[in-house]
Copies of this chain bind each other. A is one copy, B any other.
Amino acid sequence: MAQAARPVLGLCRGPVPVALRSLGLRGTCISRSNRQAQPLQSHPPRRPVRAPSTEPDLNSFALRTHTCGELCTAHIGQEVRLCGWVQYQRQGIFIVLRDFDGLTQIVIPQEKSAAHLKKILCELPLESVIAVTGTVIPRPPGQANLEMPTGKIEVQMQNAEILNRCRKLPFEIKELVKKSEALRMQYRYLDLRSSQMQYSLRLRSQMVMKMREYLCNLHGFVDVETPTLFKKTPGGAKEFVVPSVEPGKFYCLPQSPQQFKQLLMIGGLDRYFQVARCYRDEGSKPDRQPEFTQIDIEMSFIDQARIRKLIEGLIEYSWPEEKGDIDTPFPSMTYADAMDSYGVDKPDTRFGMKIVDVSEMFRNTEISFLRNALSCPRGAIRMISVADGVKYFKKKDFENLTQLAKSQFNQDLTFVTLQPDGTWKSAISKFLTDMEKSQLCHITNIQKGDVLILAAGDWTKANAALGKLRLECADILESRGVTLRDPGIFNFLWIIDFPLFLPKEDNPEEFESAHHPFTAPHPDDIHLIYTEPNKVRSQHYDLVLNGNEIGGGSIRIHNMELQKYVLETILKEDSGLLSHLLEALDSGAPPHGGIALGLDRLLALIVGASSIRDVIAFPKSFRGRDLMSKAPDYVSPEELNPYHIQVNWPTEMHEDNAKS
């Protein structure tokens, strides 16, 4: 956490919207009503790939002359009308007025003739809404507030109009962020007034707008809206159902517009995008939302490399200037390499601590549990090394890591420490030969004070455990003040060459799609699909940012026969549910592929929010509830009648309900 550039949620969340300044909403201090004005500080675009910044007129059509964030010394002497919320009132002398754009200090008139106005203003509850007319004046010498964008001026009030009184709120707004998240959700309309929420929602709007400009205006993509009342997809668990008026028939809310985007390509649309609402009923998974948004893209006559290039350009074009530059092209890594070095398919490459294989050096070891592990069919000895682990790790940490590996992966661990004095400390150290110690030093580059964590056993299990421990160790180190994952760094990474099929968890003899059944096989492996489908790599690609999957896509199968073979012979699905798609593929389907980016997650990472709920205006709780309106809610049996459904009340609930 060395850099302070990231707006840390909860620290700068008071209702002082200074963060909005960095949104590039303006680069000028001249009244925006003067259309001829030149920006005082112009920011020439550093790179043509980034969207040119725009300067909207924030006062057009509104019953004000200026926002509360824009007045400066250039406006001195001007008559202005401001509208906003009463943020503070101080001793009957000042009011600080707030709107989305900032704060302006208003001087309450002290003349006898204005005594009535003064009294009303002094008694007005905070967060009441008023309109103020007055004159911009310089602050008295020595009283300028240079921390405040409008801090060199104040507005001498001539008149004020109470537009709406606020009741006495149960808490101060600036306190709201410190309260529980549930309270913030319940009073979301108050929470939205915080500078952080204003910043996040405005940044979201602007980034999406730039993405649209890039796709639509620069590259001729067509924004097509696809239906959300669709039908169940084969294997589509977690799809919400929507009863129709036809008895027993239901729509489903789709998890993505996958079928529609492919049908659009078959329909000759050529290049499609949509900021698409998607639905997934995942009950109480933390940090998931029942409805979420993806930037959904599909192109005809395309290959994998070109789609990746398109997306790199898209992100670069829409990237917020205040977040610094990002490098393109993004590096790529095969799925096999990601699993091998990081134990996960979405590695956080902001730090090392990669998984290393030390099986070979222990091939002839005397240590029996290591020898046993290696004698198994997929046995391996894998490890990560924690630099300066001796200094930062406490005894409790070792215990916790051991327990985590055991409980989540049923994996035993062995810790090996090279003490600062050069001695080895480990349960196995007395069994290590000098040769082995020397090899270990050579392979792992261990330094005095480092800790090695070894996992011996089944390759997949050991590796998965170490992938998790790597992140856990990073958490421990960061909690002790070491910066490993700089929040100001954005490491994008493509993961490619995924397997096309995976053995089913409950029946490893059968296959399921690693992603979805429409993914095309890798051209080099296509012959294997009829003989060894488990060895076929796919043309799927994931986009990873700082250890989070923020997008995924693929080149699709465009050949009807191949699609049918995959569905029927390999996946054993009922292809009848997809007969319309198979028929479409047989009607002149162009080669095509696409991608979907998870907008909520991407935004959360950019603004440094700990949850996607912080970049969504009205999120649901982790149990899928709207805590403000209390949705979902009971519906009368009469209202269900047209849909030919009735509720199956669990016995005890039915009685409860009957009573209430």
Contacts and interface: CB of A to CB of B under 8 A. Distances in A.
A648 B647 contact: no
A291 B164 contact: no
Interface stretch (A55-63, A404-412, A436-444): A55-63
A506 to B, nearest CB: 16
A418 interface: no
A310 B167 CA distance: 32
A368 B640 CA distance: 53
Given A128-B588, A588-B166, A649-B644, A249 B634 contact: yes
Interface string A96-108: 0011100000000
A129 B300 CA distance: 11
Contacts of A500: none
A196 B182 CA distance: 50
A633 B249 contact: yes
B624 A225 contact: no
A248 B57 contact: no
Contact of A277 (B83, B225, B290): B225
A586 interface: yes
A188 to B, nearest CB: 7
A264 interface: yes
A635 B227 contact: no
A10 interface: no
Contacts of A146: none
A247 B653 CA distance: 8
Interface in A160-212: 163-164, 166-167, 169, 187-193, 197-198, 201-202, 204-206, 208-209, 212
A649 to B, nearest CB: 6
A620 B227 contact: yes
Contacts of A209: 212, 216-217, 223
Contact of A224 (B98, B205, B228, B268): B205
Interface string A611-628: 000001110100010101
Contact of A629 (B259, B271, B649): B259
B208 A639 contact: no
A223 B205 CA distance: 5
Contacts of A584: 189
Contacts of A632: 229, 231, 242, 244, 246, 249-251
Contacts of A259: 629
Contact of A231 (B64, B266, B270, B626): B626
A95 interface: no
Interface string A293-329: 1000001111100110110000000000000000000
A306 B490 CA distance: 43
In this complex, which of A241, A584, A641 has the most chain B Cβ atoms within 10 angstroms of its Cβ?
Answer: A241
For chain A, the bracket of interface size reads: 35 or more
B644 A260 contact: no
Contacts of A56: 216-221
Given A85-B588, A253-B242, A626-B227, A635 B232 contact: yes
A415 interface: no
Nearest to A54: B217
Interface string A119-156: 00000000111010000000000000000000000000
Given A100-B268, A129-B589, A201 B219 contact: no
A587 interface: yes
B220 A268 contact: no
In this complex, which of A61, A127, A190, A223 has the most chain B Cβ atoms within 10 angstroms of its Cβ?
Answer: A61
A13 to B, nearest CB: 14
B589 A164 contact: yes
A45 interface: no
Given A188-B263, A192-B264, A268-B100, A293 B225 contact: yes
A250 to B, nearest CB: 5
A635 B241 contact: yes
A61 B310 contact: yes
Interface string A4-46: 0000000000000000000001000000000000000000000
A223 B208 contact: yes
Given A241-B243, A268-B99, A269-B201, A231 B631 contact: yes
Contacts of A302: 61-63
A419 interface: no
A62 B290 contact: no
Contact of A617 (B197, B220, B264, B618): B264
Given A100-B269, A192-B264, A635-B250, A618 B586 contact: no
Contact of A248 (B131, B190, B219, B653): B653
A559 interface: yes
B241 A242 contact: yes
A56 to B, nearest CB: 3
Interface of A: 25, 54, 56-58, 60-64, 83, 85, 98-100, 127-129, 131, 163-164, 166-167, 169, 187-193, 197-198, 201-202, 204-206, 208-209, 212, 216-232, 240-253, 259-260, 263-264, 266-271, 277, 279, 281, 283, 290-291, 293, 299-303, 306-307, 309-310, 558-559, 580, 584-591, 616-618, 620, 624, 626, 628-635, 639-650, 653, 657
24 contacts: A57-B219, A61-B219, A61-B302, A63-B306, A129-B589, A189-B263, A190-B267, A201-B269, A205-B216, A209-B216, A209-B223, A227-B291, A227-B620, A229-B291, A230-B626, A231-B629, A244-B632, A251-B631, A251-B632, A281-B642, A580-B630, A641-B648, A644-B648, A644-B649
Give the 7 A-B residue pairs with the shortest CB-CB distance, closest first: A192-B267, A231-B631, A56-B220, A166-B588, A249-B632, A127-B588, A244-B632
